[in-house]
């Protein structure tokens, strides 16, 4: 379960970047943490007309997607995170590729969950589990019109969203490697292979 330490590092990275963008003033047992942050809606160009740091907040899921209420989304994320941790435990003896991809997804889920669960209390604008997610990465794209609506920018996102996307892409691109390896090991470990299974085995050599 050492992979969970990597998850923790990713979550810390996500939260630090959000505090830098939103700003924060905390006094924790005499330790004062004060960051000015950005004004809401302000934007800092990084790559001219392409990439910006733009501070917004949204009540939804990754990339601003929404379903259900804020409390429902928080509870869904908690359940999903528990299931991912359990799945990582079940596959603790598997190769690092699968565990790493799950770690990215878990870190993304936890990163945005912290926003929704605690930011309302920390910044004093909403009760527990009613907070909004801090987003700030903005990438402009060529104008695209879909169903009469024109999009000039990819939905603004954060590191947590990027983690989730990375994890799912790793699974999609590497699923053959992950599951074919597992099938091969099951075939080789079977001491009573039928003739049909022996014929199948050659495809995994």
Residues designated as active site: 135, 161
Measure the CA–CA gap between 61 and 41, rounded to whole angstroms.
19
Q: Nearest to residue 152, comparing CAs of 52, 55, 85, 70?
A: 52
Contact 136, 21 (CB under 8 A): yes
Q: Nearest to residue 96, comparing CAs of 2, 183, 13?
A: 2
Ordered alpha helix ranges (H), the chain: 3-22, 70-90, 96-114, 120-122, 159-189, 195-201
Distances (CA, A) of 123 to 71, 99, 129: 17, 34, 13
Measure the CA–CA gap between 159 and 53, rounded to whole angstroms.
12
Q: What is the 3-state secondary structure (H, E, C) of 141-173?
A: EEEEEECCEEEEECCCECHHHHHHHHHHHHHHH
């Amino acid at each position: 379960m050492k992979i969970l330490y990597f998850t923790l590092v990713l979550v810390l990275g996500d939260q630090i970047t959000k505090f830098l963008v939103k700003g924060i003033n905390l006094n924790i047992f005499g330790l004062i943490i004060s960051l000015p942050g950005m004004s809401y809606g302000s934007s800092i160009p990084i790559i001219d007309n392409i990439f910006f740091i733009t501070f917004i907040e949204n009540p939804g899921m990754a990339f601003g997607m929404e379903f259900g209420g804020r409390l429902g989304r928080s509870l869904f994320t908690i359940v999903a995170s528990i299931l991912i941790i359990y799945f990582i435990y079940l596959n603790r003896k598997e190769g690092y590729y699968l565990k790493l991809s799950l770690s990215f997804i878990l870190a993304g889920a936890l990163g945005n969950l912290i926003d929704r669960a605690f930011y309302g209390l920390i910044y004093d604008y909403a009760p527990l589990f009613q907070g909004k997610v801090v987003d700030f990465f903005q990438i402009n794209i060529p104008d695209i019109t879909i169903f009469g609506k024109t999009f000039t920018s990819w939905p603004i996102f954060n590191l947590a969203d990027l983690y989730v996307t990375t994890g799912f892409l790793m699974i999609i691109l590497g699923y053959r490697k992950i599951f074919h390896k597992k099938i091969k090991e099951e075939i080789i470990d079977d001491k009573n292979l039928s003739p049909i299974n022996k014929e199948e085995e050659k495809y995994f050599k």
